[in-house]
Amino acid sequence: MEQRMRNARTTAPFDLSIDSLTYDGRGVGRHKGRVVFVSNALPGDTVTVNVVKHKTSLWEAEIDRIIAPSPQRKRPKCPKYGQCGGCSLQHMNHSGRLAVYTDLILRSLKRFAAVEPESVMTPLQSPSWGYRHRARLSVRWLNRKLLLGFRAAGSHAIIPISACSVLAPELEALLPGLAATLQTMSDPRAISHIELAAGDHCRGILLRTMKSLSEQDQDRWRLLAQGDAAHLWFEPSEPDQRVCAYSPDEYESLTYQLPEFDVKLAFLPIDFIQINPYINRQMVSQSVEWLDITATDTVLDLFCGLGNFTLPLATRAQQVVGVEGLVSLVEKGRENARINGLNNATFMRADLSQEIMLQTWSQKSYDACLLNPPRTGARDVLEVLADRLPDRLLYISCNPATLARDAGILKQVGYRLTRLSVMDMFPQTVHVETMALFLRN
């Protein structure tokens, strides 16, 4: 055994053809019957690799040289690519990325749930650059040098940035002013993170502080916000003490619109929203269309957040019940319903991982259900309510593995997967969003 391990650890470089991609963006090939994962390799590449980690069932490797590049390979645009952890597939072209996304989902569903969609629909597409309307910047000081940027790939180190092409242009334009203001502060280490967000006609800066800012430092940030016509918040370690320090208009929230439904939603930079508004508008419209909502329908929206799906559904249905675990989002959903005059949208707070059957909303009957769970999926709620859920169920997923697992649960209680669509929510990255329509006869 020890001899075999020593031989494995001194494996000589070898050539490898890459056949597919893993969930985390590594290329997959086979060498003498063994699976090899290769960082930064793409399907269609022929590469020489060096093994860096040996495991019983697979090897992990890095590219030594590219013998023949994949047709999908392109030159990364960002000079920080490979250092910053924000993007991991800039070396792959757009059409290739969408094809890989779809293949990943289909393989996962078939392998782990024995489920195949009856129809695979055209992917929802987004601009490849300038799409990100929300971001968190880390602030660190190293030997009196400012580090303002994103975390490095696979590390807690900070990669400083002065520009970022995936950020919405109106947020990217804030970066120089943020860095300059940090440099002038009397106590710059008081700030740990900066949250940026852009609405349709507004943008916001939220400073996460580890201690109170001096009046002089607060004035510096207000001056920056005024010059950039941006909302400004100070948030100490206790969120309930958040302060709106400056607002360019009478509102103390950012807003975005869903024009097809004549709905406007208010949010803060720390609230969960879909970071890609181009995909979000398409996604909401397609969700309502696929669920075939009518004026007599009662709809259940689980993991509803601040109402991104709830309120558009309420413009078409008789009644919509949104259920969310975070109190702050439930309150924001109720406020958004009030702003839009939608009295048929009800928001309720519930932990969807426990005591589901004790909740009043779970005792009612519905005509359709939408689920938009976190990466951990919706297993808890499905295992409890699967037999009680309506025959029309739409699942929005951000994790192929938990989607496959939950599709298996739904299959066991009589659902079939009728439509599936990949959504290009996060261009340049390995993250994939999926819409899946399940029907039960």
Q: Please check whether residue 411 lies inside any domain of the structure.
A: yes
For residue 387, the model assigns a pLDDT of: 85
User: Where is average pLDDT lowest: 85-94, 117-126, 386-395?
Assistant: 85-94
Give 233's pLDDT tier (boundaries 50, 70, 90).
very high
Residue among 34, 32, 43 nearest 73 (CA): 43
Residue numbers of the domain that contains 148: 134-254
Residue 7 clears pLDDT 80, i.e. is over it: no
Report the range out of 82-91, 129-138, 357-366 with the highest average pLDDT: 129-138
pLDDT per position as a tens digit, 21-48: 988 889 999 999 899 999 999 999 999 9
Better pLDDT: 216 or 355: 216
CB distance 161 to 84 below 8 Å: yes
Both 325 and 305 in a single domain?
yes
pLDDT per position as a tens digit, 310-343: 999 999 999 999 999 999 999 999 999 999 999 9
Q: Please check whether residue 261 lies inside any domain of the structure.
A: no
- Helix (H) / strand (E) element for 385: namely helix 379-385
Q: Please check whether residue 342 lies inside any domain of the structure.
A: yes
pLDDT per position as a tens digit, 266-292: 999 999 999 999 999 999 999 999 999
Both 122 and 152 in a single domain?
no
Both 281 and 416 in a single domain?
yes
Report the DSSP pairing between strands 58-68 and 34-39: parallel
Q: Is 78 a catalytic residue?
A: no
User: Where is average pLDDT lowest: 83-97, 217-231, 369-383?
Assistant: 83-97
Amino acid identity, position 371: L
Both 305 and 403 in a single domain?
yes
Q: What percent of the chain has pLDDT over 70?
A: 97
Residue among 7, 15, 42, 14 nearest 28 (CA): 42
Total domains in the chain come to: 3
Both 208 and 115 in a single domain?
no
Residue 99 clears pLDDT 90, i.e. is over it: no
Both 429 and 402 in a single domain?
yes
Both 122 and 138 in a single domain?
no
Both 345 and 248 in a single domain?
no
Question: In 3-state terms, what secondary structure has residue 106?
Answer: helix
Q: Please check whether residue 265 lies inside any domain of the structure.
A: no
Strand partners, 166: none
Which of 18, 51, 68 finishes a domain?
A: 68
pLDDT per position as a tens digit, 250-267: 778 999 999 999 999 999
Residue 206 clears pLDDT 90, i.e. is over it: yes
Residue 154 clears pLDDT 80, i.e. is over it: no
Q: Please check whether residue 423 lies inside any domain of the structure.
A: yes
For residue 245, the model assigns a pLDDT of: 93
Residue 6 clears pLDDT 70, i.e. is over it: no
Residue 240 clears pLDDT 70, i.e. is over it: no
For residue 10, the model assigns a pLDDT of: 63
Q: What percent of the chain has pLDDT over 90?
A: 81
Q: Please check whether residue 75 lies inside any domain of the structure.
A: no
Q: Residue 250: which CATH number?
A: 2.40.50.1070
Which is the catalytic residue, given 84, 164, 304, 398?
Answer: 398
- What gap in Å lies between CA 15 and CA 61, rounded to an integer? 11
Residue 297 clears pLDDT 50, i.e. is over it: yes
Both 304 and 433 in a single domain?
yes
For residue 181, the model assigns a pLDDT of: 97
Q: Please check whether residue 202 lies inside any domain of the structure.
A: yes
Better pLDDT: 262 or 142: 262
This prediction has a pTM of 0.92
CA distances for 172 relative to 40, 227, 256, angstroms? 27, 15, 19
Both 157 and 202 in a single domain?
yes
For residue 8, the model assigns a pLDDT of: 46
Q: Residue 50: which CATH number?
A: 2.40.50.140
CB distance 423 to 400 below 8 Å: no
Q: Residue 360: which CATH number?
A: 3.40.50.150
User: Where is average pLDDT lowest: 5-9, 79-83, 222-226?
Assistant: 5-9
Both 108 and 47 in a single domain?
no
pLDDT per position as a tens digit, 393-417: 999 999 999 999 999 999 999 999 9
Average pLDDT of the residues in 67-73:
95
Both 158 and 29 in a single domain?
no
Question: In 3-state terms, what secondary structure has residue 54?
Answer: strand
Q: Please check whether residue 88 lies inside any domain of the structure.
A: no
